[in-house]
Chains A and B, each alone.
Chain A
Amino acid sequence: MSKSNVSMTVNGKAVAAEVESRTLLIHYLRENLSLTGPHIGCETSHCGACTVDIDGKSVKSCTIFAVQAAGANVLTIEGMAAADGTLHALQEAFREMHGLQCGYCTPGMIVRAHRLLQENKNPSEAEIRLGISGNLCRCTGYQNIVKAIQYAAAKINGVEYKEAAE
């Protein structure tokens, strides 16, 4: 199998490796770089557990090749916290609002929510639900994930979070 040299930036660090042209990005991240935060749930780009951010877009890393990300700027869950370890508002919010249970969808969900909040600083509940519909969760029923994203948005925007009436 032919191999290619790929280099990219992952979580702010330059990385380079020789990979088979068929190596999927998710396997490159998990096995070559030991970034095991992104998970594999379906291998058909339905579940979103493998979601990473590539050059400002949410991408399911199980259905692109590592070589397609050559030169790109990749962000995974491991790069969400600040360099000093301070958690991102979304990471805090998911814990605060009980937006996770088994934790398997969480890295993809948070990375996706991060991009959503870049695209729309103050999304409505319907916009959040549509915005995360490429990421499946089998545990939470999404309700607390929606709340977590609203909570994080409020925090990022510097406004008080108000829980919608049940």
Chain B
Amino acid sequence: MNAPTPPTSLERAEKLKGMGFKRKRVEDVRFTQGRGNYVDDIKLPGMLHGDFHRSSHAHARIVKIDTSKAKAVPGVVAVLTAEELKGVNLAWMPTLAGDVQMVLADGKVLFQNQEIAFIVATDRYIAADAADLVEVEYEALPVVVDPFKAMDADAPVLREDIKDKKDGAHGPRKHYNHIFNWSVGDKDLTDAAFVKAEVSTKDLLSYQRVHPCPLETCQTVCSYSKITGDLTIYGTFQAPHVIRTVVALISSIPEQKIHVISPDIGGGFGNKVGAYPGYICAAVASIVTGLPVKWVEDRIENLSTTSFARDYHMTTEIAATRDGRVQALRVHILADHGAFDACADPSKWPAGFSNIVTGSYDFPVAHLSVDGVYTNKAPGGVAYRCSFRVTEVVYALERAMDIMAQKLGMDPVDFRMKNFIKREQFPYQSALGWEYDSGDYHMAMDKAVAAIDYRKLREEQKAKQEAFKRGETRDIMGIGVCFFTEIVGAGPSKNCDILGIAMFDSAEIRIHPTGRVLGRMGSKSQGQGHETTWAQIIATEIGIPADDIAIEEGNTDTAPYGLGTYGSRSTPVAGAAIAMAARKIKAKAQMIAAYLLEVHEGDLEWDVDRFKVKGNPEQFKTMAQLAWAAYNKVPPGMEPGLEAVSYYDPPNMTYPFGAYFCVMDIDVDTGVHKVRRFYALDDCGTRINPMIIEGQVHGGCTEGYGIAMGQEIVYDAAGNVKGASLMDYFLPTAVETPHWETDFTVTPSPHHPIGAKGVGESPNVGSVPCFSNAVNDAFKFLGNVHMSMPHDAYRVWQAAEDLGLHK
């Protein structure tokens, strides 16, 4: 049958508001009316409030903790220190990275603002008053702030608990402040390629310590019932099921008695993946008091203690032929993990997926080696809107590609185009072990270059440079180029787990008799709009309007077990589970339709929202009719009902990619920049909701702009964290934030049921090197090779000063 689709089908498809439709968000109805339900909105009868007394030192032995004055404050119910936690074996807790971490300081403190005592009081003001009255006597110890000095022979011992341990969770340690070495690739072949390289570059490219800083901080309300032994934990958790399992493993409470609920979350960006001391202390305090206990971080606590991101120092080398073909990539990374290795990566990946460092280019050989070290800084190492250390290495590679192009005297776009993996090479085996699923990099770059009229911009830049040299202007123009390949959708059970749990995800779909639907997933939205988009996938798959489908996430009692939302894994993994569960429902519905229409199943064909008899379209049953029939007229021998569950173990990662361009003008006398244009072309495979994708790209680029142009968590030589408040930590306002131009190509993932790849993190990954390349490109004609981020006005001015531009 080659008849054109009748218009009625199109109309019916429109009504579904399924995949590809710019559906307005379901969530917004409550959020725009102030009716969201975030953790701090939860108020339980008798609820107490917890607050921390924190360390003023970065490294010190604790001589004495005196809590008597704090305990004497009227309204204080309990004060916990490590001594109290030892009674329940919780003074230390395991980290996601195979290390252990103090919950409350045990004998010494290892970073400033480390948690020392937890005060529980009848209101948050009293808890804060009492926290100030805890008295701690310290004996200061020498501090390690610079990761390059962490493994010096005379460096102070940071982790006395493991100083004699020769092996860590990821193999041998070569120094008491060393955490792991992780190496991948063929070292001999790579070294040999560099020996005979016609041209090579070697640069230390650092990605500063930053923080995801969602607008809502980390928070919890824990409520333990001494009667039933049930522990209910509300919290800002990106992965509620994982939190439940962690609590079960470290406490004596059985997992079925632990109820973890993530209500609405005010942004996550990786900050809310880990388990933090505040959660443990609130839970213990609730168990001790028998009353609910709320803990809410303030902003300074958030920026200085619960997770950081990046702090990767990447010595990056490229070998190439004189005519611009890349021959080898060699990268060594020094990773500053802070006081405990609380890096949030899949358990077997101590440096995340940093072996995606070969990026979009056909490197014949490569070698990567990563050393993690302890310093006196906050623990963490989360994926700040990126898939596990991907944004760090994409930054290093994309800076290094620009530097090599500069050395070769080639245009950065031409150099990239010459070395792209070609469309016919997919599925592509990278030199560092990944199998890229699909891509068409040349098509994407061609489209981007045409869209921004790149060649003309270079001509304009050349004219401006001439004018600058003639002294006619003090403005210089930079054009930033970035072509990135992401690796997301962790991940296949063969190589991805968290604490031994494979990184699948899940969906449960129930079709009610009236044709309305309830879907529950193991993912957890923090602003991504899952309640809207998950319903769109189901709508297209089974032909029931998205508006008739309710989506629930975040309650471990009702949602199927899932690994949560981070690393752009929701669409690649949970999105696939949704499609697979929907297809199980459709298959059962087809059997019911065949029975009702008295034909063979094979005589039916699917048409948007119904099964119709082939060659006789008047004979059909809609999905709504089949839903009703599923509860009263199923074929003999078939179970009634219409529900399905899918646990999806992805066969591979997905590899979204994109071409980003930035045009920037910089005043060399002030260091002030103006972003004239920013163009982001993303290929995330099949697009579920273009409106939401564009919103994700706007947001990710804005975060990337903040990182590249101003964000840094700075420590002074004594380990004092400087600027951990919004007074100093740069979050772009609407005034600085550039205008975003978005574009796309569509290269579906061949292994994903709907071909989707995920998009949330691409813009952060792609925009940071793009901005940095723009700044560096602007100064290139004046002799600059590399300036480090963040490129705030002072640092840019300083760089101009160093280049002698103010004489």
Binding site for B on A (CB under 8 A): 1, 20, 22-23, 27, 30-31, 34-44, 46-47, 49, 76-78, 80-81, 87, 91-92, 94-96, 98, 100-107, 110, 128-130, 132-146, 166
Contacts and interface: CB of A to CB of B under 8 A. Distances in A.
Contacts of A129: 733-735, 737
B25 interface: yes
Contacts of A20: 125
B215 A104 contact: yes
Contacts of B31: 100, 103, 106
B522 to A, nearest CB: 20
A41 B216 contact: yes
Contacts of A136: 215, 726, 731, 733
A103 B528 CA distance: 10
Interface string B684-713: 000000011011101111110000000000
Contacts of A137: 215, 734
Contacts of A166: 741-742
A65 to B, nearest CB: 12
B734 A132 contact: yes
Interface string B23-38: 0110111111111101
A104 B36 CA distance: 8
B33 A133 contact: no
B29 A95 contact: yes
Given A40-B40, A44-B299, A104 B216 contact: yes
29 contacts: A36-B38, A36-B41, A39-B266, A41-B266, A46-B727, A47-B215, A47-B299, A47-B731, A78-B33, A80-B34, A95-B24, A98-B24, A98-B695, A101-B527, A101-B696, A103-B36, A104-B214, A129-B733, A132-B733, A132-B734, A133-B734, A133-B735, A138-B731, A139-B267, A139-B695, A141-B698, A141-B740, A142-B737, A143-B737
A87 B725 contact: no
Contact of B526 (A91, A92, A102): A102
Given A38-B34, A94-B32, A128-B734, A101 B216 contact: no
Query: For the complex, would chain B's binding face be called helix, strand, loop or mixed by DSSP majority?
Result: loop
A100 B695 CA distance: 9
Contacts of A103: 27-28, 30-32, 36, 264, 266, 527
A135 B726 CA distance: 12
Contact of B734 (A78, A101, A139, A142): A142
Contact of A41 (B299, B529, B692, B696): B299
A25 B698 CA distance: 33
A16 B38 CA distance: 26
Query: For the complex, would chain A's binding face be called helix, strand, loop or mixed by DSSP majority?
Result: loop
Contacts of A47: 215, 299, 726, 731
A144 B698 contact: yes
Given A39-B216, A44-B725, A100-B32, 11 more contacts: A1-B125, A38-B34, A41-B217, A46-B731, A95-B25, A102-B214, A104-B214, A135-B734, A138-B703, A140-B695, A143-B698
Contacts, number: 176
Interface of B: 24-25, 27-36, 38, 40-41, 43, 124-125, 213-217, 264-267, 269, 296, 298-299, 526-529, 691-692, 694-696, 698-703, 725-727, 731, 733-735, 737, 739-742
A82 B691 CA distance: 28
4 closest A-B pairs by CB: A37-B34, A103-B31, A102-B527, A104-B266
Contact of A104 (B213, B267, B298, B740): B267
A91 B692 CA distance: 18
Given A42-B299, A78-B34, A143 B739 contact: yes
B128 to A, nearest CB: 10
A12 to B, nearest CB: 15
A27 B280 CA distance: 25
Nearest to A106: B31
Contact of B740 (A22, A91, A105, A143): A143
B546 to A, nearest CB: 15
B741 A101 contact: no
Contacts of A39: 38, 40, 215-216, 266
- Pick from B29, B215, B264, B296 the residue with the most CB of A within 10 Å: B215
Contact of B527 (A42, A91, A139): A139
B268 to A, nearest CB: 8
A77 B36 CA distance: 11
A122 B208 CA distance: 42
Contacts of A135: 734
Contacts of A106: 31-32
Nearest to B737: A142
Contacts of B35: 37
A80 B31 CA distance: 13
Contacts of A38: 34
- Pick from A35, A49, A107, A142 the residue with the most CB of B within 10 Å: A142
A164 to B, nearest CB: 9
A109 to B, nearest CB: 10
Nearest to B529: A101
A41 B124 CA distance: 16
A138 B28 contact: no
A137 B528 CA distance: 14
B214 A138 contact: yes
